[in-house]
């Protein structure tokens, strides 16, 4: 639950950053400063992409771990038990490893979203959000009225709303604590959990995941090309 909230927050902040970064540097003329430095456009794009692909996910991971520690300590204090014992019963070590795999999975899943927003930010000369929202609305109208389908828009919304492995952590640990019955932790081993996919190997093997990565690579290459030719707005 806590990790899911952190993930949604990371996606929201990442989208806002990706949508504005290249547009804003052209608008405030800072692109001239960056171009005066001995830094390649490829490296500049990679540095900006690392904010949403590395720094953001790591920060959300850290915050979720801090929240987990606080929750464990608070629960232990409330029921008069050892925090260390609670952590051992809950297999926190395994949960941490799972969280790392989960954050990598979601970063790859959201990579095409960020890459497309980077491309829009580097190409338009007016507010990028208007282009994105207008493009989505136009696509929906054309597809719904002209083609009488919602396949393409469904894929796009699925990328935003469907998180691979959703429910993984909820199924993994259930804490039961009452004043009268004492304290117990029911932990379901990772290999016994079924959440629409069998395991992380299956999740990382999804064709849709890697098609998205391929699309992201194309968008990032185009972003580098546009960044090389960027001029102040």
Looking at per-residue pLDDT, the higher value among 75 and 207 belongs to: 207
pLDDT value at residue 167: 47
pTM: 0.77
231/229 Cα distance (integer angstroms): 7
131 falls within a domain: yes
- 233 lies in some domain: no
- The overall average pLDDT reported for the chain is 78
Establish if 106 belongs to a structural domain: yes
Q: Which of 52, 66, 71 is nearest to 9 (CA)?
A: 52
- Count of structural domains, the chain: 1
Closest by CA to 75, choosing from 187, 175, 188, 180, is: 175
Residue 91 has pLDDT above 80, yes or no: no
Q: Which of 22-26, 89-93, 131-135 has the lowest mean pLDDT?
A: 89-93
Question: Considering only CA atoms, which of 13, 33, 27, 45 is closest in space to residue 217?
Answer: 45
Residue 128 falls inside a structural domain: yes
Domain containing residue 42:
2-228
- What gap in Å lies between CA 84 and CA 52, rounded to an integer? 34
In a domain, 49, yes or no: yes
Q: Which helix (H) or strand (E) holds 185?
A: strand 182-187
Name the token pair of 220. 């990032």
pLDDT in tens, 122-150: 999 899 999 999 999 999 899 888 888 88
């Amino acid at each position: 639950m806590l990790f899911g909230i952190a993930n949604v927050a990371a996606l929201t902040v990442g989208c806002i950053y990706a949508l504005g970064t290249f547009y804003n540097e052209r608008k405030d003329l800072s692109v001239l400063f960056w171009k005066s430095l001995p830094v390649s456009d490829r490296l500049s794009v990679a540095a900006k992409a690392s904010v949403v692909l590395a720094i953001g996910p790591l920060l959300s991971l850290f915050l979720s771990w801090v929240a987990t520690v606080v929750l464990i300590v608070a629960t232990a204090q409330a029921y008069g038990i050892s925090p260390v014992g609670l952590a051992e019963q809950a297999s926190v070590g395994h949960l941490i490893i799972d969280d790392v795999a989960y954050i990598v999975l979601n970063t790859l899943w959201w990579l095409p979203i960020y890459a497309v927003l980077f491309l829009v930010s580097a190409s338009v000369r007016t507010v990028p959000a208007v282009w994105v929202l207008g493009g989505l609305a136009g696509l929906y109208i054309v597809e719904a009225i002209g083609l009488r389908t919602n396949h393409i828009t469904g894929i796009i919304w699925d990328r935003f709303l469907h998180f691979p492995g959703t429910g993984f952590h909820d199924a993994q640990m259930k804490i039961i604590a009452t004043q009268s019955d004492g304290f117990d932790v029911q932990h379901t081993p990772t290999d016994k959990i079924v959440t629409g996919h069998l395991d992380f190997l299956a999740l990382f093997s999804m064709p849709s995941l890697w098609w998205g990565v391929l699309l992201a690579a194309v968008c990032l290459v185009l972003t580098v090309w546009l960044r090389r030719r960027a001029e102040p707005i």
